Amino acid sequence: MQELKTDILVIGAGSGGLSVAAGASQMGADVVLLEGHKMGGDCLNFGCVPSKALLASGKAAYGQAHVSAYGVADVVPQIDYAAAKDHVHDVIAQIEPMDSQERFEGFGVKVIREYGSFVSPTQVQAGDHLITARRVVVATGSSPLVPPLPGLDQVPYYTNETIFDLRDKPEHLLIIGGGPIGMEMAQAHIRLGCKVTVIEGMKALGKDDPEAASVVLGSLQAEGVAIHEDAMVAQIRGNTGGVEVVTENGEIYAGSHLLLAVGRKANIDRLNLEAAGIDHTRTGIKVNESLRTTNRKVYAIGDVAGGLQFTHVAGYQAGIIIRSALFGLLTKAKTAHIPWATYTDPELAQVGLTETQARARHGNALEIARFDYHHNDRAVADRKTKGFIKVMVVKGRPVGATIVGHQAGELINLWSLALANNLKMGQIAAMVSPYPTIGELNKRVAGAYFTPRLFENQTVKRVVRFVQRWIP
């Protein structure tokens, strides 16, 4: 057994773990990084990167068949599903060097390609290494949840970890789960020539603003995706090339392939958390506001800590941990300014409170500012007029923003900035946007907030009339 001592031990080389390892090492700490599977974690290999690459293939195919409105003849796209998957893996390969073992060893990080397991509150075993660390950061991420559905163990199925290796185009893809992953994969596959049925036990995109979600769901249905809500799965049956999903109400949905997209589970099974005195729940490791576990020498970051499961959240939390572990600063992770987006077409993005949440919390103090895409000149020129932006405002400050439409994932950045820095709507309105841009929507919705105050206010009108009589 080889014994090592280090300042910071990071378990898991996904987004959060890599950010901690790179930052801490470059600031002078001695860092050991453990990864038993793929460098880059879920986001690079099975999640954000491949899903957006496949969506890009679908968008290209859809574009060829829907360009007549621009004065260009529609054509029937010649889709090569295997080549689309080649594109996906090429994108991964291009990004891979940024997360590679060699790059991080260049930062001075000692990378050990083994899983880690606690043997004491300060010691972790990884292969034939026994590592003693002053601080440990658990960043093992999450994996697809595979529910114990009757018959599932007898039927071939895919998750986000395996679907990107499928090279034969599904004739009819059944997707269990109507969350962001399920809906993104539904649109990608319908546009690549597959028949797609989504089976959701509750409401599709149920965590998002219902009005905004309905815009996305309507678009997918218009493209041919069959979406069945309130359809709890009771049984799976069939075999390769022929799968049936039976719901509790007796409905039967038949397809050629099955994709599970019903959620995530924290990767804690290998960690032996009990040996380190670390408490956990069904959703992940328990942490406080500073991301410390019940063992004060151990932090947990990203998906494994429960909470919001997004790559950018893990990256944000990495900064919190670096300030705490390296400099001893009292830091707390916040979530009010954390945005998220679903990259369907149209996109759906949210930061802060939804309208429903804001009304429940702020009551009559809440004001809603809204602006529709069809009033934006660039959206009209690009024929991207479906959607809207609405901002929840309390005492002149935004407390949440919902955007559905073209480039919603880009537009939401400004509102994350606003919430992070407690900006006022007046400061957003003071921004000057180049014309014509989609980004002008953010300024225009701020203007919509002030419109009734300026143009419908009788006091303002009286003041203007008085001043006009007296100025030379």
Does residue 387 have a known ligand-binding role? no
Does residue 141 have a known ligand-binding role? yes
Does residue 178 have a known ligand-binding role? yes
Does residue 447 have a known ligand-binding role? no
Does residue 347 have a known ligand-binding role? no
Pairing of strands 2-11, 31-34: parallel
Contact 291, 138 (CB under 8 A): no
Six token digits for residue 149: 């559905």
Does residue 142 have a known ligand-binding role? yes
d(CA 320, CA 339): 17
Query: Which helix or strand (DSSP H or E) is residue 158 part of?
Result: none
d(CA 140, CA 286): 14
Does residue 106 have a known ligand-binding role? no
CB neighbour list of residue 115: distance below 8 Å, 6 or more residues apart: 34, 36, 126, 270
Does residue 140 have a known ligand-binding role? yes
DSSP string, 314-359: HHHHHHHHHHHHHH--------TT-EEEE-SSSEEEEEE--HHHHH
Residue 432: Cβ within 10 Å count: 7
Does residue 23 have a known ligand-binding role? no
Does residue 183 have a known ligand-binding role? yes
Does residue 184 have a known ligand-binding role? yes
Closest residue by Cα to residue 321 from 18, 20, 2:
20
Contact 94, 40 (CB under 8 A): no
Does residue 28 have a known ligand-binding role? no
Pairing of strands 31-34, 195-199: unpaired
Helices 81-95, 48-65: axis angle to 10 degrees equals 140
Q: Is 69 exposed, middle or buried (0-12, 13-18, 19+ CB in 10 A)?
A: exposed
Does residue 38 have a known ligand-binding role? no
Does residue 200 have a known ligand-binding role? yes
- Binding site members for NAD(+): 177-184, 200, 263
- Binding site members for FAD: 52, 116, 140-142, 303
- Binding site members: 52, 116, 140-142, 177-184, 200, 263, 303
